[in-house]
């Protein structure tokens, strides 16, 4: 489990000024970026302090220990990923839209040569076995992500794009699994094409239920 550095004193959360909220956001942004690139376990509070250009007292004023910072980052990253996915998926009304969703994910992954994987998936691998609060928060995020895919496939079925015998829950789960597995393959191989192949296999199967 990550270190639990803590500053002595009260942990009550005071009312925040605009500047204080901006400082907190800067800390969270820096921590999220470091967790994504270096991993949670390899990132120290000193790393976060330096990256966010904050003093030690500022950092501990907002986050009394590393665990509190981790929990906050999970919340922020979950909201960010789900907002992104909701925006991409809500307007899909045909199979070409599903392919464009796939293309956007691959394009983003290519920017890093597939090196860092999924922000939520990476934290899940590191934290879920060691912190029950982290596990529950990440499980809730993945459940919401799955539901977005289920709703998209349900919409396509209701519109007549996909046949009525397609099970949106089953295929939504499979599509998310292909995506997360693709992230891992691309990360380990530094090759986004592996992620593309995994998604293509899942989408090919879904498209086999399309009306021709």
Summarize pLDDT for 143-185 with one digit per residue, the tens: 999 999 999 999 999 999 999 999 999 999 999 999 999 999 9
pTM over 0.85: yes
Choose among 177, 175, 183, 173: nearest CA to 204: 175
Summarize pLDDT for 63-86 with one digit per residue, the tens: 999 999 999 999 999 999 999 999
Burial 51-86 (b: 16+ CB within 10 A, else e): bbebeeebbbbbbbbbbebbbbbbebbbeebbeebe
Summarize pLDDT for 104-126 with one digit per residue, the tens: 999 999 987 767 889 999 999 99
Q: Which residue has the tokens 């981790």?
A: 70
**39: alpha, beta or left? (left if phi > 0; alpha if psi -120 to 50):** left
The tokens describing 36, both together, are 């994504």
Sign of CA dihedral 60, 61, 64, 69: negative
């Amino acid at each position: 489990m990550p270190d639990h550095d803590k500053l002595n004193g009260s942990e009550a959360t005071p009312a925040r000024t605009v500047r204080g909220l901006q400082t907190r956001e800067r800390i969270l942004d820096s921590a999220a970026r470091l967790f994504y690139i270096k991993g949670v376990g390899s990132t120290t509070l000193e790393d976060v302090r330096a990256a966010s250009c904050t003093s030690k007292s500022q950092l501990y004023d907002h986050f009394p220990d590393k665990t509190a910072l981790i929990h906050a980052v999970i919340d922020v990253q979950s909201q960010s990923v789900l907002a992104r996915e909701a925006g991409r998926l809500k307007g899909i009304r045909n199979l070409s839209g599903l392919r464009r969703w796939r293309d956007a994910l691959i394009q983003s992954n290519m920017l890093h040569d597939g090196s860092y994987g999924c922000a939520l998936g990476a934290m899940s691998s590191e934290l879920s076995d060691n912190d029950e609060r982290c596990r529950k928060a990440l499980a809730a995020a993945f459940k919401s992500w799955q539901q977005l895919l289920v709703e998209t496939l349900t919409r396509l079925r209701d519109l007549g794009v996909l046949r009525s015998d397609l099970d949106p829950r089953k295929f939504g789960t499979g599509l998310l699994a292909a995506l997360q597995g693709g992230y891992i393959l691309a990360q380990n191989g530094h090759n986004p094409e592996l992620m593309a192949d995994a998604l293509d296999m899942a989408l090919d199967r879904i498209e086999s239920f399309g009306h021709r």
